């Protein structure tokens, strides 16, 4: 039976032999392509976002601070 398949003497064995010659390499190529091809990343991430304007004043522990006129004590001009 094995020699009959390799020689492909009948139509049944010819079809089987052709399927083996086509499907095994095709399956190997498909598996290799699946393993080697990187997964798609998708759209790029936007790091910059648009924010609303900062508030004019803020209240911390009951004390209101005007942010637009406040001075930073750690900044040296």
Do 19 and 30 meet the contact criterion of CB atoms below 8 Å apart?
no
Q: Considering the domain boundaries, does residue 4 fall inside one?
A: yes
Q: What is the mean pLDDT of residues 1-5?
A: 62
Nearest to 54 by CA among 39, 33, 69: 69
Q: Considering the domain boundaries, does residue 73 fall inside one?
A: no
Total domain count, the chain: 1
Residues contacting residue 4 through CB under 8 Å, at least 6 positions apart: 10, 13
Q: Considering the domain boundaries, does residue 48 fall inside one?
A: no
- Kindly report, residue by residue over 15-57, the tens digit of the pLDDT: 888 888 888 899 999 999 888 888 777 777 766 667 777 788 9
Could you list the residue range(s) of the whole structural domain that residue 15 is in? 1-38
pLDDT for position 22: 87
Name the DSSP letter for residue 75. Answer: -
Nearest to 67 by CA among 75, 55, 53: 55
């Amino acid at each position: 039976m094995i020699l009959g398949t390799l020689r492909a003497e009948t139509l049944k064995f010819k079809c089987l032999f052709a399927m083996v010659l086509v499907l095994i390499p095709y399956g190997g190529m498909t598996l290799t392509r699946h393993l080697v091809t990187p997964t798609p990343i998708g759209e790029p991430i936007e790091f910059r976002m648009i924010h609303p304007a900062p508030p004019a004043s803020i209240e911390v522990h009951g004390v209101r601070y005007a942010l637009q006129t406040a001075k930073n004590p750690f900044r040296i001009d």
